[in-house]
């Protein structure tokens, strides 16, 4: 894998993994709607300066015909339903268990990617998905009866975020910061308003400030890092990197909440590690066609797809940068991932 999108994918998992035990602490003072809303308002707050500085044109671009429906799906699934279902499940289970269950997002992302988004996975990748699923089932046994409902709620949240993952990975021409701002603002305001109506008033300022702070880093910064990784590696493989989050969540639950790390959790973590390793080691290469098109995303010039010139001067070799650029039509063969340039069919392929 290319190093930069791998590193930022891992960092996104770290930031999100820490949010689970920290959110568990806040659920003693806030209801699920309020906390879900504040977390995503924090995500929007993180990127308000970006939008004010240079995102206004992108905000207008989100109203383009081809982007309205995906954006509506991103807001509904990722900004409203996903966080609300997670907070409801987190209320009923240990934070360490929920941290492991969150890896069901990998399973859902892989299945949806295979069925609907041209995300090719070989035998190793599917075996990694299976190990991830087994890890979640193993932890559900630890929670006994209550684990069925809580696990189901977290799994439903993961399906919602899997839809969000694939739709977001397709949103080229709009920066990850702007997409996150819109999703956080719309989803956050909706859930927060419902939560305050249910509670009959606003939360305490201190609790709200802590929730916003978690949202800035664990949802705002983390989401943008994930989106940038997904645009370069594809949603499923970036989700594999993001799936390291439970390791950090379990450690934080032990440190902050005093939750024991039981043998069953160690076994689940071993399955997770195997799943991540197998899925990340898969390779895929075949002759494929690229049509000519124009788009904007983070890229570099040593990946066989970005040989365009820069009127203002060429960037240093290996430098990541973003601007509108044109791709010429080409047929070639090389190892690749289902990123923005490789969402093609596979009638005749070799992996």
CB within 8 Å of 32: residues ≥ 6 apart? 84, 87, 88, 91, 195
Instruction: Give the pLDDT of residue 250.
Output: 83
pTM: 0.72
Residues 224-279 pLDDT 10s: 888 788 777 776 677 777 877 878 888 888 888 888 877 887 888 888 788 777 76
Alpha helices (H) along 172-262: 176-199, 205-214, 222-233, 235-242, 245-257
Instruction: Give the pLDDT of residue 74.
Output: 93
Q: In terms of pLDDT, which residue wins out, 59 or 157? A: 157
Q: How far apart are CA 350 and CA 339, in angstroms?
A: 18
pLDDT at 51 over 60: yes
The total number of residues written for the chain in this structure:
351
Q: In terms of pLDDT, which residue wins out, 158 or 275? A: 158
Q: pLDDT-derived band of residue 72, with 50, 70 and 90 as boundaries?
A: very high
Closest C-alpha to 163, from 145, 178, 183: 183
C-alpha to C-alpha distances, 170 to 43, 113, 339, nearest whole angstrom:
20, 12, 9
Q: In terms of pLDDT, which residue wins out, 114 or 28? A: 28
**In the structure encoding, which two tokens stand for residue 337, read together?**
């991932």
Instruction: Give the pLDDT of residue 305.
Output: 63
Instruction: Give the pLDDT of residue 350.
Output: 37
Closest C-alpha to 36, from 219, 273, 176: 219
């Amino acid at each position: 894998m290319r190093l930069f999108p791998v590193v930022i994918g891992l960092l996104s998992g770290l930031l999100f993994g820490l949010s689970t035990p920290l959110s568990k602490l806040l659920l003693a003072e806030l209801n699920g709607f309020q906390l879900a809303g504040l977390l995503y308002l924090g995500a929007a707050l993180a990127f308000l300066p970006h939008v004010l500085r240079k995102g206004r044109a992108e905000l207008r671009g989100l109203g383009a015909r081809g982007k309205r429906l995906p954006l509506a799906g991103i807001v509904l699934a990722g900004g409203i339903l996903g966080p609300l279902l997670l907070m409801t499940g987190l209320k009923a289970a240990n934070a360490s268990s929920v941290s492991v269950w969150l890896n069901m997002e990998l399973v859902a992302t892989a299945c949806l990617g295979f069925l609907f988004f041209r995300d090719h996975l070989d035998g190793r990748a599917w075996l990694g998905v299976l190990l991830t699923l087994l890890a979640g089932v193993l932890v559900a046994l630890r929670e006994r009866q209550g684990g069925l409902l809580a696990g189901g709620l977290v799994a439903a949240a993961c399906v919602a975020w899997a839809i969000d993952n694939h739709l977001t990975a397709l949103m080229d021409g709009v920066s990850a910061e702007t997409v996150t701002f819109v999703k956080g603002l719309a989803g956050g305001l909706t859930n927060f308003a419902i939560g305050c109506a249910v509670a009959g008033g606003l939360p305490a300022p201190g609790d709200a400030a802590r929730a916003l702070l978690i949202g800035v880093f664990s949802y705002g910064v983390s989401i943008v890092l994930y989106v940038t990784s997904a645009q370069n590696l594809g949603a499923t493989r970036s989700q594999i990197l993001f799936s390291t989050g439970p390791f950090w969540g379990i450690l934080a639950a032990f440190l902050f909440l005093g939750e024991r790390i039981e043998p069953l959790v160690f076994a689940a973590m071993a399955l997770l590690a195997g799943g991540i390793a197998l899925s990340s080691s898969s390779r895929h290469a075949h002759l494929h066609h690229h049509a000519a098109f124009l788009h904007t995303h983070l890229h570099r010039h040593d990946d066989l797809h970005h040989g365009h010139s820069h009127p203002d001067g060429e960037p240093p070799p290996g430098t990541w940068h973003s601007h509108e650029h044109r791709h010429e039509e080409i047929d070639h063969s090389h190892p690749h991932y289902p990123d923005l340039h490789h969402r093609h069919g596979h009638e005749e392929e070799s992996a």
